[in-house]
Amino acid sequence: MHILPFLQLGFAAQVPLSSVSPASAPQIPQMATAKSDFTLSEGANALSPQDMLTLPRPGVPLPNDIGDLAIVPISTYSFQDRKSHKSLSVVALGDGRAYDIPLPDGGDAFWLDSRTIAHIVTKDDTQSLYTIPISTSPLSSDLSSHVGSFPITTASAFRYSPSAQRLVFSAYVYPDGLVETVKEQDKAYENRGNSGLVYDETFERQWDTWVGPKSKALIGVSLAKVGAKWVLGETYVNVLKGTGLSSPVEPFGEADDYDISQTHVIFTAKDPQLPKAMHTRQNIYFVAHDGKDLRQLTSGTQGATHSPVFSPSGDKAAWLELALDGHESDRAKVVIYDLKKDVRFTITEDWDRSPDSIIFSPSSALIYATTGDHARIKVFALAVPPTPPSNTTQTTQPAALTFSGSISGFTPIPGGRATFALSSLTSPNEVYELSGLDAAERDLLAGRKADVKATTLTRLTSFSSAGLQGKDLSPGKDFWFKGTAEGQDTHGYVITPPGFERGVNGKWPAVMLIHGGPESAWFDQWSTRWNPNVFASQGYVVVAINPTGSTSFGQKFTDGINKNWGGRPIQDLLMGWKYILQEYPEIDQNRTVAAGASYGGYAINWIQGNPELGFGFKALVCHDGVFDTTYNGYATDELFFFNHEWGGRPWDPAAFEASRKYSPAYTVAKWSTPQLTIHSSKDYRLPEGDGIAVFHALQQLGVPSRLLIFPDENHWVINAGNSLKWHHEVFRWFDQFIGLS
């Protein structure tokens, strides 16, 4: 039976479309009384939510051109001050000495030369560039000097080319494309006398923001050292002016959406001929610093592209490319473009992994790809083959250089070395150095297997050591079980609490955490939002399974979730859960709970409505989940997502039937498990109506239920105070029904 597509969420919860006779109605538990004195565990060996939230949050290291220093941005939250304190750590590569520069006004920082840091300060409606001189004997900084101010206040994502003496950055501009007129037009827009927003095309809103009259552009300006003084030019060139293009791509695009050489800018941008919310296609473009001679390097038939980079030799560029338009989780392939021969070729056609970022080696003979692989984020090296005579594929065999944790910001430096950030389930980002890469490069170029034993991995920093001292953190234990996938096992992690002992049966409560995406994964990686060790430190055995749909296990495994959200992935979760209950008799099966966000929230709602599955959870937490799967195809900001996941638009018969089949909204009559529902008002990916509808349904059914709303958050809870509240309410809810405290 078809229903009106724009279903009113309140009434959807009132009238369940599947009936249950009184005799078979689920047994609804009584609402337990919340303890008025409930407190979170904060023992010396426990990682409490507040401990996690106040740890330093290092970014990725940015090395200088000679490879002896790197700068690392750090943010540290203080609940006493209710603010984040920003600083810049200057790290000596090699011995790990560090010098901290406080940045009371925050702001981006990057290298201008091997001993000069550029620092961007935004204050009093003015955005300015300062220089900070650095000395190495001893490691220290001198007073900052003002270089100049920008005509706008939204400059970000900076890149500097010393050889071109060119600074490029992203900024928001109006349709005229001029940075010089932005402030004047801002005032006119703010004083227009109404708040109406009119749209003739999508996006009208994206992620957490209503789309306004401005868009992102790439702006270039000269920046040179004249004598002892740095001089910022006065002529700004918008290399996208008049093209209809916008880059970096909203909402998450940053400096990795473009790169610069001595003469050109390469960037990714949404195809201007296609409705943005309905397509993922992004083309790669190549333009001179003066904005002339714009060229499209992609075929124009592909899907999304990202991570465009120039080779140091300047004769090649590379990027990551997804084949299918509309499929945001398609396999990313490494594509190389020979700029001199005008030939484009793919080098990872046969590699069943999907890199996140790429960068050339200093010799331009290798490409390093940061890639998810079996729930780790590793670095692989790929030899650059000779350019073929025409556009084609040239397969090259990747070689893994790292094997544990999760790597970000991998950057080669002189001397056969690279620096990067590495995190794990037990540690936030720390700076590491990998040496011996020159030997690995020689092996690969000679057609031999890279000898990773010749490389040395060295940890250089200890940003979080003091805050984690004495904490009993679990590194996570991998487990594999037979799931629904053919020809491969399914993966998960078990994270045990402080004091856990094998052989003491029936003592410990357990929580299953279900990841979002759905095309994502639980990695050996630190998180400040869903941190398994924070859950474990509250006394839970944590089970985190990577079911069908998860990434890093091959594209077939990822694509297995399409049109099957409540099928194979849920069966994988159930099979993995039963496997753990059998393998860990220490778990008290009468005290088990589950929580999930986004797709994980959908899974919670689906489990809620299918008690016959037999998970046996005593309480549930749904964060920003899906209530009506079909309706979400109309309400979400990125329309292409539903259209791919379900094989068509929400009114197309096949997509309608597939999404309705797996929609929690049609299982409401069977809901009976106590549930905390969390949603945020600025979540435009899964709008808050889904969470409110779930709460209304539970309330009318008489199921113990609670609603937590964050009016100022998006799909993620970012504010530290809100995050602390989130954790308190989640653990308080669980405690009501399984009596942990």
Per-residue pLDDT tens over the stretch 231-244: 999 999 999 999 99
Cα 659 from Cα 679, distance rounded (Å): 22
3-state secondary structure of 440: helix
Q: Would you tell me how many other CB atoms lie within 10 Å of the CB of residue 99?
A: 17
- Total number of residues shown for the chain: 741
Question: Does one domain contain both 611 and 543?
Answer: yes
Question: Does one domain contain both 587 and 480?
Answer: yes
Cα 266 from Cα 298, distance rounded (Å): 12
pLDDT above 70: residue 186: yes
3-state secondary structure of 337: strand
Q: Which residues pair with 333 in a beta bridge?
A: 321
| Structural domain contains residue 6 | no
- Mean pLDDT value of segment 394-411: 95
Question: Does one domain contain both 132 and 41?
Answer: no
pLDDT bracket for residue 12 (50, 70, 90): very low
The closest alpha carbon to 202, from 709, 636, 672, belongs to 636
Instruction: Give the distance, in angstroms, between the CA of residue 438 and the centroid of all CA atoms in the same chain.
Output: 31
The closest alpha carbon to 216, from 243, 246, 252, 239, belongs to 246
Which CATH number does the domain housing residue 578 bear?
3.40.50.1820
The closest alpha carbon to 666, from 679, 652, 656, belongs to 656
Which structure tokens are listed for 613? 């599955």
Assess contact for 216 and 292: CB atoms under 8 A: no
pLDDT above 50: residue 1: no
Q: How do residues 699-712 score in pLDDT, each as one tens digit?
A: 999 999 999 999 99
Q: What per-residue confidence (pLDDT) applies to 15?
A: 32
Q: What per-residue confidence (pLDDT) applies to 426?
A: 99
Instruction: Give the distance, in angstroms, between the CA of residue 311 and the centroid of all CA atoms in the same chain.
Output: 26
| Structural domain contains residue 452 | yes
Q: Which residues pair with 371 in a beta bridge?
A: 355, 378
Domain final residue, candidates 122, 150, 178:
150
Cα 215 from Cα 669, distance rounded (Å): 46
Question: Three-state SS string across 594-638, please?
Answer: EEEECHHHHHHHHHHCCHHHCCCCCEEEEECCCCCHHHHHHHCCC
Q: How do residues 647-684 score in pLDDT, each as one tens digit?
A: 999 999 999 999 999 999 999 999 999 999 999 999 99
Q: Is 683 a catalytic residue?
A: yes
- Mean pLDDT value of segment 486-491: 97
pLDDT above 90: residue 42: no
- 35-39, 580-584, 616-620, 660-664: range with lowest mean pLDDT: 35-39
Domain final residue, candidates 429, 463, 497:
463
Question: Does one domain contain both 620 and 476?
Answer: yes
Q: Which helix (H) or strand (E) holds 50?
A: helix 49-54
Q: How do residues 418-456 score in pLDDT, each as one tens digit?
A: 999 999 999 999 999 999 999 999 999 999 999 888 999
Question: Does one domain contain both 599 and 720?
Answer: yes
Cα 501 from Cα 417, distance rounded (Å): 42
| Structural domain contains residue 646 | no
Question: Does one domain contain both 239 and 218?
Answer: yes
Residue of 683, 696, 705, 723 marked catalytic: 683
pLDDT above 70: residue 131: yes
Cα 490 from Cα 575, distance rounded (Å): 10
Strands 305-310 and 355-360 turn out to be unpaired
- Mean pLDDT value of segment 275-282: 98
pLDDT bracket for residue 133 (50, 70, 90): very high
Assess contact for 401 and 395: CB atoms under 8 A: no
| Structural domain contains residue 583 | yes
Q: What per-residue confidence (pLDDT) applies to 505?
A: 82
Which structure tokens are listed for 405? 């944790």
Question: Does one domain contain both 446 and 495?
Answer: no
- Whether the bond into 169 is cis, omega within 30 of 0: no
- Mean pLDDT value of segment 345-349: 97
Its sign, for the CA torsion 79, 81, 87, 89, is: negative
Q: What per-residue confidence (pLDDT) applies to 35?
A: 65
Residue 21, C-beta contacts closer than 8 angstroms, at least 6 positions apart: none
pLDDT bracket for residue 519 (50, 70, 90): very high
Total domains in the chain come to: 4
Question: Does one domain contain both 302 and 443?
Answer: yes
Q: Is 715 a catalytic residue?
A: yes
Cα 86 from Cα 92, distance rounded (Å): 20
Q: How do residues 538-567 score in pLDDT, each as one tens digit?
A: 999 999 999 999 999 999 999 999 999 999
Q: What per-residue confidence (pLDDT) applies to 393?
A: 81
Q: How do residues 729-740 score in pLDDT, each as one tens digit?
A: 999 999 999 986
pTM of the full structure: 0.94
pLDDT above 70: residue 352: yes
Which structure tokens are listed for 570? 């849920």
Which structure tokens are listed for 87? 């600083």
Domain residue limits at 549:
35-49+472-625+715-734
pLDDT above 60: residue 741: no
Cα 601 from Cα 603, distance rounded (Å): 5
Cα 409 from Cα 230, distance rounded (Å): 28
Residue of 357, 598, 663, 680 marked catalytic: 598
- Mean pLDDT value of segment 44-72: 98
pLDDT above 90: residue 465: yes
Question: Three-state SS string across 374-413, please?
Answer: CCEEEEEEEECCCCCCCCEECCCCCEECCCCCEEEEEEEE
pLDDT bracket for residue 14 (50, 70, 90): very low
| Structural domain contains residue 179 | yes
The overall longest dimension of the chain from CA atoms, in Å, is: 89
Residue of 119, 623, 715, 727 marked catalytic: 715
Assess contact for 260 and 308: CB atoms under 8 A: no
Question: Does one domain contain both 440 and 482?
Answer: no
Assess contact for 382 and 396: CB atoms under 8 A: yes
pLDDT bracket for residue 392 (50, 70, 90): confident
DSSP state letter for 563 = T
- Mean pLDDT value of segment 86-115: 97
The closest alpha carbon to 316, from 402, 386, 227, 232, belongs to 386
Cα 128 from Cα 143, distance rounded (Å): 16
Question: Does one domain contain both 495 and 478?
Answer: yes
Question: Does one domain contain both 322 and 459?
Answer: yes
| Structural domain contains residue 316 | yes
Question: Does one domain contain both 329 and 448?
Answer: yes
The closest alpha carbon to 328, from 259, 256, 280, belongs to 280
pLDDT above 90: residue 89: yes
Domain final residue, candidates 255, 270, 286:
255
pLDDT bracket for residue 6 (50, 70, 90): very low
| Structural domain contains residue 14 | no
Q: What per-residue confidence (pLDDT) applies to 20?
A: 42
Q: Is 119 a catalytic residue?
A: no
Return the CA Rg of the chain: 26
Q: What per-residue confidence (pLDDT) applies to 506?
A: 82
Q: Which helix (H) or strand (E) holds 423?
A: strand 417-424
The closest alpha carbon to 724, from 534, 574, 566, 544, belongs to 534
**What percent helix, strand, coil does the chain show, rounded to 5?**
20, 35, 45
User: Which one has a higher pLDDT value, 278 or 452?
Assistant: 278
pLDDT bracket for residue 635 (50, 70, 90): very high
- Return phi, psi of residue 10, to 5°: -60, -45
Q: How do residues 249-272 score in pLDDT, each as one tens digit?
A: 999 999 999 999 999 999 999 999
3-state secondary structure of 564: coil
Which structure tokens are listed for 740? 């942990």
Q: Which helix (H) or strand (E) holds 182?
A: helix 182-190
Percent of the chain with pLDDT over 90: 92
| Structural domain contains residue 689 | no
DSSP state letter for 664 = G
